[in-house]
Amino acid sequence: MEVVFHIAADLLMYGIFVYSVVLLLFYIFIGLYSIGATEEYLHKNNFTDYRMLVASPHAPSVSILAPAYNEGNTIIENVRSLLSLFYANLEVVIINDGSKDDCLQKLIDGYELEKVDFFVNYQIKTKEVRGVYKSKNPVYRKLVVVDKVNGGKADALNVGINISSNDYIVCIDVDCILEQDSILKMVKPFLEETTKRTIASGGVVRIANSCEIRDGRLIKVHLPDNYWARMQTLEYIRAFLLGRMAWARMDGLLLISGAFGAFDKEIAIKAGGYDHRTVGEDMELVVRMRRYMAENKLPYRVTYIPDPLCWTEAPVSTKILGRQRNRWTRGTIETLKFHKRMFFNPTYGVLGLVSYPYWFFFEMLAPLIEFFGFIAFLIMAIIGMVDWNIFIALLVFIVCFGYMYSAFAAYIEVTTYNQYRRRTDMAKLLLTGLTEPFYFHPFGVWAAIKGYLDIIRKKNSWGEMTRQGFGPTTAKKK
Amino acid sequence: MRTLGTRDSFFDFITADRLYFTAFLFLFCCACMIVMIYVHLYRKKRRYFNRQYIESILDEWIGAAIIEPSVEGWHVHVTPELLDEFEKEHNRQIAIDQLINTKKNLLGEASENIVRLYMQLNLQRDSYKKMKSLIWHKKAKGIYELYMMGQEDIQDEIFKYTNSQNEYVRMEAQTAIIGFQGFKGLTFLGPLTESLVDWQQIKLIEQLKPLDPDLNAAQLSSWLHSSNDYVIVFALKLAEIYQQFYAHDIAAQKLSSSNDRVRRQAILTLANIAGDHTAALLVAQYAKETPQNKKVILQNLTSIATDNELPFLLQELENEDDQVKLDVSRVLYKGYSSGSELLAQKAQQSPAPYEAILKHVKSEVV
Amino acid sequence: MPKILIAEDDPLIQKTVALKFRKEGFEVICCSDGKEAIEQISVVMPDIVLTDMMMPYASGIEIVSAVKSITEKNIPVIVFSTMGQEHVVEEAFTLGADDYVTKPFSLTELTIRIKRLLKNV
């Protein structure tokens, strides 16, 4: 009996150790592999004259889809920001997902909207559309507002897909601040395709907390004052600048942020549109679109733009942050479950052989392994099966690796986009990083564990995400 | 020294000491990164002030270049100290960038002096050197600079790069040649074997836009018969935009291409240089097409459809795909005087969905 | 000294045009974004306004509107546009713009047009 126990303990220890080492190696690989990719992109961008595309009649038509739910506070400001983007052949579709507040009325008043006769082709099945509104004022001709019965973000986006008249869709969170030339940059990969069809293009999401924002435009970047937001800044830099860049380079990008992503509408429809059964609908759609192309043997690619094009408000309270991480975990689990066919399946190339397994082991299972692994080791140390020295050494080893990785990410950020100009900013960011293994990361793991519990209890909601708004909300009257 | 594990095994070498040692290495790397960050920031700041300084000098010279009349032999007075500053490659690049950015916006006399300033500082040497580099982005930048500064004498050399394997070098070279020679520069399409992506096609079209059209029929026809599908698509676009009616029959031939894109562009071109039988041609093509191309056909029938096409349209009006119903309704409403009546009848017969469709189409026209 | 207000976000164009017109004897007021421009116009009351069509915060259209809504003074407006933005220019004209110049432009031509418009006022 004791022998069995020992073997089990051994397996556990070695298992966790191997897991950690593989994970660290992956991180190192991602870190190094991403370097070349960002550099290359920056070189390519040196030449590109984006302005010429802005008003060309030959430029592709793009629809921005922004679902809105109870955004009454900030909706006028948000829409104004979207309407001022640099792109002529643009349609801004705001989908009012049955808001309980005055969101729709504010839009009607603020942008002189009137209901128009619109034939809604329910190409993707959605909840009912109550009305489509366009502006009487030619200055706002790009704006289309759709009022529908509440159905959730995925459903709202699908309505947007049905309504939009253009070839390419850019799906965003309505309160995101987009850079002026973001549409241009996101559309470019679709125009550069040769043998492989570009089906989706992802962008970088940056943290807007504490940044100076006026009239829906980002004026100056500041490092967030709030600890949680600051911590997320570092996290986002690691994830977006290193992680996604490397995956994109390998053509294994599984996730495009729901806050900012461009898609080929035709493929999105063929793949079936967003799935409302999951809270991770953004990730799930990309995976499904990729599967569609792979299963139909159509050569394709998913690209990624590392430029900071989209700024969003990060959660600042543990409650809301916890809900967000909980949701992300549930979304990941649901998505991977839907597509378990891809696990180590060569039909799906890099996606099936590398991306999916990585996400399964090192993103989905990671919180579980960390949590239970830590407890197991702790117990073993307490009962003397493992030397305390080793246990602590292992922790120190992992924590120092984390520091090194964060420092590396900070270095890449400074040498590429350098959004945080002040010397004190970098110092603050790095110091915040020091606390990560002890505070932020365990918090994240705990939120993820709760996500697991919720899935087991079959929860299926977004929870309440309340918005702070970016600053003094002065609704401009025309 | 206890190891990880309760018995001798492969993992014996994982000792606490070794773990601490590796952790220390990590911290050392971390410290190096941090040092590098600050070194980088410091250097950046230095470079920034240097840049401001150099640009202020340039501002003065550029100001003079713009305001003073353009005469052969115009130049600015450069003191020996400043000459030294402009010996540094970094500063020369700043100068090139500033001159290009200014010239980009100006035509006429003002820009002539800018070019004189460029040559006075011998900057074309730097640009040429870049063009000769083996690194793709330097090469492309070099070509870009030479083109922006009007260095026409290098044209023939640049032409060789229009079919370069690297797409960015290729694009800059093509842009440069069109910039120098206008429509005549399109000869690069002949030997082009590499791809010509939509992005570049749009760029070239926008470049050609302000110029007086000067398309050679024989050349255009040869491009339409190219073995490179990209060239065919581009040539079809040119035929569409510049209304080259003689290309109609060749464009019609392209409807049998195996490449979706070629066929799609052929449809667009035919619709724009339509003859009496074009509509019939497109309708005949419709059945064989992909859904995407079918949509393009419907969208372009409005201005060219005749009564002959009516039966086809009425048939397609019954298509199970609502999107097709909508597209067809548009053609009927906008393209036929009896269109609205036909649709109204249909709407009476089957209100769902034709009534809503009719209302939609009506509101579009208002 | 006639006053010209330039609404242009590209600093080089701003500098270039400002330089030229100061030499020509104008008082030049520069604005780098649409909002600033609209504010400045009612404060400064320039004799002529030169505006880019694509500006941060407010498009050239809004600026033209703002200028033409000033009833105390008839201020001519010239719009800058990039090649190929004819429909935007068209819109500007329906709102009352007096002339347009496409980029890249000739400084001499621009000067002539501005002087002509000022003479007609």
CATH number at residue C13: 3.40.50.2300
Of A14, A385, A426, which has the smallest distance from its Cβ to B37's Cβ?
A426
The residue type of A365 is L
Cβ-Cβ contacts under 8 Å for B97 (sequence gap 6 or more)? none
Which residues of chain A from 373 to 412 reach within 8 Å of chain B, CB to CB?
385-387, 389-390, 392-394, 396-397, 399-401, 403-404, 407-408, 410-411
pLDDT at C19: 87
B68 by Cβ neighbours in 10 Å (0-12 / 13-18 / 19+) ranks as middle
B80 by Cβ neighbours in 10 Å (0-12 / 13-18 / 19+) ranks as exposed
Stretch B186-196: mean pLDDT, rounded?
A: 96
Please count the other Cβ atoms lying within 10 Å of the Cβ belonging to residue B240.
19
Domain that holds residue C95: 3-120
Of B123-137, C15-29, C69-83, which gets the smallest average pLDDT? C69-83
- CA atoms of A304 and A309, how far apart (whole Å): 12
- CA atoms of C68 and C43, how far apart (whole Å): 15
Cβ-Cβ contacts under 8 Å for A272 (sequence gap 6 or more)? A124, A288
Please count the other Cβ atoms lying within 10 Å of the Cβ belonging to residue B279.
24
Q: What is the DSSP string of A317-347?
A: SHHHHHHHHHHHHHHHHHHHHHTGGGTT-GG
Q: pLDDT of C18-64, one tens digit each?
A: 988 998 899 999 998 888 888 888 888 899 999 987 776 677 778 88
Stretch A367-373: mean pLDDT, rounded?
A: 91
Of A43, A46, A397, which has the smallest distance from its Cβ to B19's Cβ?
A397
Phi/psi of residue A460, nearest 5 degrees: -150, 65
Q: pLDDT of B11-67, one tens digit each?
A: 567 778 888 999 999 999 999 999 999 999 999 999 999 999 999 888 888 888 888
Q: Which residue has the higher pLDDT, A1 or A282?
A: A282
Cis peptide before C104 (omega within 30 of 0): yes
Instruction: Tally A–B CB contacts below 8 A.
Output: 150
DSSP bridge pairs for B107: C106
- For B118, the token pair is 């460029």
The answer to whether the Cβ–Cβ distance between B197 and A52 falls below 8 Å is no
Stretch A301-318: mean pLDDT, rounded?
A: 92
pLDDT at A329: 93
Q: Give, for C29, the enclosing helix (H) or strand (E).
A: strand C27-31
**Interchain CB contact of C56 with A (< 8 Å):** yes
How crowded is the C-beta side of B114, counted as CA atoms within 13 Å?
A: 27
Stretch B98-104: mean pLDDT, rounded?
A: 89
- CA atoms of A126 and A273, how far apart (whole Å): 10
pLDDT at B144: 93
From A238, A232, A239, select the one nearest A208 (Cα to Cα): A232
- For A203, the token pair is 């962008």
pLDDT at C73: 82
- CA atoms of A241 and A307, how far apart (whole Å): 9
pLDDT above 90 as % of chain A: 60
pLDDT at A100 over 80: yes
**Taking a C-beta distance cutoff of 8 angstroms, is the pair A80, A475 a contact?**
no
The chains found to touch B (3+ Cβ pairs under 8 angstroms) are: A, C
| Helix A388-415 with A366-382: angle, nearest 10 deg | 150
The predicted complex's ipTM stands at 0.88
Of A135-144, A209-218, B328-337, which gets the smallest average pLDDT? A209-218
Stretch C3-16: mean pLDDT, rounded?
A: 87
How many domains does one find in chain C?
A: 1
pLDDT at B9 over 70: no
Cβ-Cβ contacts under 8 Å for A386 (sequence gap 6 or more)? A13, A377, A380, B2, B4
**Taking a C-beta distance cutoff of 8 angstroms, is the pair C51, C28 a contact?**
no
Distance from CA of B291 to the nearest CA of C (A): 31
The residue type of B200 is Q
Q: What share of chain B is helix, strand, coil (3-state, %, to 5)?
A: 75, 0, 25
In terms of DSSP bridges, do strands A129-135 and A212-214 run parallel, antiparallel, or are they unpaired?
Answer: unpaired
Size of chain C in residues: 121
Provide the 3-class DSSP secondary structure of residue B347: helix
Stretch B298-314: mean pLDDT, rounded?
A: 91
The answer to whether the Cβ–Cβ distance between B110 and C23 falls below 8 Å is no
pLDDT at B11: 59
Q: What is the DSSP string of B143-176?
A: HHHHHHTT-GGGHHHHHGGGG-SSHHHHHHHHHH
pLDDT at B180: 94
- Structural domains of chain A in order of their starting residue, each with its CATH number: 1-47+190-472 (no CATH), 62-175 (3.90.550.10)
Q: In C, which residues are within 8 Å of A51 by CB distance?
A: 82
- CA atoms of A258 and A244, how far apart (whole Å): 14
The answer to whether the Cβ–Cβ distance between C106 and B106 falls below 8 Å is yes
Cis peptide before B353 (omega within 30 of 0): yes
- CA atoms of A116 and A135, how far apart (whole Å): 9
Distance, CA of B20 to chain centre? 54
Q: In C, which residues are within 8 Å of A180 by CB distance?
A: 56
pLDDT at C85: 62
pLDDT at A473 over 60: no
DSSP bridge pairs for A381: none
pLDDT at A261: 93
Size of chain A in residues: 478
Nearest chain B residue (CA) to A412 = B37
pLDDT at A303: 92
Q: Which residue has the higher pLDDT, A124 or A422?
A: A124
- For A209, the token pair is 């907390």
Distance from CA of B286 to the nearest CA of C (A): 33
**Taking a C-beta distance cutoff of 8 angstroms, is the pair A279, A334 a contact?**
yes
pLDDT at B116: 92
Of C16, C84, C102, which has the smallest distance from its Cβ to B106's Cβ?
C16
Which residues of chain A from 184 to 223 reach within 8 Å of chain B, CB to CB?
188, 191-194
From A396, A363, A391, A360, select the one nearest A376 (Cα to Cα): A391
Phi/psi of residue C6, nearest 5 degrees: -110, 120
- β strands within B263-305, DSSP E: none
